């Protein structure tokens, strides 16, 4: 079994999945795709926001206090969105005729990817993101970090927008 892990910044569309699986058409053995979609950690978000408020020297704006702020509830919402993104991505790959599994993680994306590569004995990693020109130029992007830490081939795919006839929006990817 040829095992490919796809670290995606957002849910894969049908076109994205078709592009990903087309990269492996020449591989004769069965292929399995495992999708990893990072999500935020609500507790870290709250701590960062509170730290920014505490460090603020702006006297004109009073600190914002929200009694309804509940990190657990926020994390449930974040996790639900991430779960939906994983489900959509799995369905897109399965619709292309291939085996797919997936998960989301609020851990650092490269740490989570490293655990997956080791745990699944992955043959290849595909990192799929929107363009991040400055991070890529400085080699601070996910792909550069993964290449420094992992011992498997890594391909970076850049998402781009295709115009959909009905809505005027859509997404696809191109290789970089």
Instruction: Please calculate the CA angle 74-79-80 and round it to the nearest 5 degrees.
Output: 100
Residue 61 in any domain: the answer is no
With beta carbons less than 8 A apart as the criterion, state whether 89 and 35 touch.
yes
pLDDT given at position 139: 55
- What is the domain count for the chain? 1
Q: Domain residues for 148?
A: 2-55+67-175
For the cut 80, the answer to whether the pLDDT of residue 166 exceeds it is: no
For the cut 70, the answer to whether the pLDDT of residue 174 exceeds it is: no
Residue 159 in any domain: the answer is yes
> Tell me: the pLDDT tens digits for 123-164?
999 998 876 665 555 656 788 889 888 989 888 887 745 434
Give the number of C-alpha atoms closer than 13 A to the C-alpha of residue 129, restricted to the C-beta side: 17
For the cut 80, the answer to whether the pLDDT of residue 7 exceeds it is: yes
pLDDT given at position 98: 94
Residues in contact with 102: Cβ distance below 8 Å, sequence separation at least 6, in sequence order: 34, 35, 36, 37, 86, 87, 89, 90
pLDDT given at position 157: 84
With beta carbons less than 8 A apart as the criterion, state whether 36 and 9 touch.
no
Residue 8 three-state SS? strand
Instruction: Give the alpha-carbon dihedral of 133, 125, 8, 84, to 10 degrees.
Output: 180
Residue 46 in any domain: the answer is yes
Residue 106 in any domain: the answer is yes
Separation between Cα atoms, residue 21 and residue 6, nearest integer Å: 11
> Tell me: the pLDDT tens digits for 19-69?
999 999 999 999 999 999 998 876 555 555 555 555 555 444 545 555 445
Least confident of 85-89, 113-117, 152-156: 152-156
pLDDT band at 172 (very low <50, low <70, confident <90, very high): very low
For residue 111, give the CATH number of its domain: 3.40.50.620
In this prediction the pTM is: 0.72
């Amino acid at each position: 079994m040829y095992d490919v892990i796809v670290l995606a910044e957002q849910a894969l569309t049908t076109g994205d999945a078709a592009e990903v699986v087309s990269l492996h058409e020449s591989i004769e053995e069965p292929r399995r795709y495992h999708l990893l979609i990072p999500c935020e950690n609500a507790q870290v978000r709250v701590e960062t926001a509170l730290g920014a408020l505490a460090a603020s020297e702006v006297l004109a704006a009073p600190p914002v206090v929200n009694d309804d702020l509940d990190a657990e509830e926020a994390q449930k919402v974040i996790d639900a969105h991430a779960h939906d993104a994983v489900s959509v991505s799995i369905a897109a790959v399965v619709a292309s005729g291939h085996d797919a599994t997936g998960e989301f993680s609020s851990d650092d994306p490269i740490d989570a990817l490293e655990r997956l590569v080791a745990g699944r004995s992955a043959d290849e990693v595909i990192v799929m993101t929107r363009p991040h020109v400055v991070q890529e130029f400085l080699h601070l992007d996910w792909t550069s970090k993964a290449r420094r830490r992992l011992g498997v081939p890594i391909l970076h795919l850049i998402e781009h927008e295709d115009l959909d006839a009905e809505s005027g929006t859509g997404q696809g990817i191109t290789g970089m």
